[in-house]
Amino acid sequence: MLPPISPYLMKQTILMVLDIGVIDRNMKTDVLVKEAMRTKPLTCKPSITIKKVAEMMREKRVGSSIVVSEGKPIGIITESDILKKVVAEGKDSNKVRVQDVMTTPLVNIDPYITIEQAMKIMNKHNIRRLPVIEKGRLQGIITEKDIFRISPTLLEISREWSVIEGVNVSKTLGATISGKCEECGRLSSDLLEVDGRFLCEDCREQ
């Protein structure tokens, strides 16, 4: 029986694969998100009922919907949210609103980062979908499945990297947060955490 590989050695191996470019023929890491994302993702208003958004998701055969208010993405609702926060708690889907159970603030990415970077961000935040936003506008969505179809090997290697590295990749790889600023209350697609609160660019500069 071979001895276990040390975390240090595993980390160095993964970094060599991801950063130096020692890859197998099935692994494509330089593909940009804009080339792999799905355009025109399902969107909904925060005021509609859970039953309505569930029907929309079933009709489109998707597992999530981006929540949009005043033309800006502010959150996301997934099948998991509906099951855990509505069905499992015995709530009436005709009465519960999307805004009551959606995930917000919204982690999102730029279309010009690579799918490798997108996967690291997903793993860091323990999510499977990332809305793609450019200049405040929703451009598309990319999921684990989208990345897996392009690069099966990257999925497993990136998960190991996230566990071992333990760094805040959202600050270094282009992830931003969308939602309401906790200081002024305005919607923003560029929130950053400052002293435990998510603030827009204007409030951060004050």
Residue whose C-alpha is closest to residue 120's, from 136, 109, 131, 133: 109
pLDDT tens sequence across 156-172? 555 555 554 544 444 44
Measure the CA–CA gap between 118 and 128, rounded to whole angstroms. 10
Q: Is 82 helix (H, G, I), strand (E, B) or coil?
A: helix
pLDDT, residue 149, reads 77
Query: Domain 7-167 has what CATH class?
Result: alpha beta
Tell me, rounded to whole angstroms, the distance of Cα 80 from its chain centroid: 14
Strand partners, 114: 32
Contact 142, 112 (CB under 8 A): no
pLDDT in tens, 101-137: 999 888 999 999 988 888 888 878 888 899 999 988 8
Residues 14/160, Cβ–Cβ less than 8 Å: yes
Of residues 154, 189, 155, 194, the one with CA closest to residue 174: 189
The angle, 0 to 180 degrees and rounded to 10, between the axes of the packed helices 115-125 and 152-165 is 50
Name residue 39's beta-bridge partners: 140
Q: What's the whole-model pTM score?
A: 0.64
Digit-coded pLDDT (tens) for 44-64: 999 999 999 999 999 999 999
List of residues 6+ apart from 167 with CB closer than 8 A: 124
Q: Residue ranges of the domains in the chain?
A: 7-167
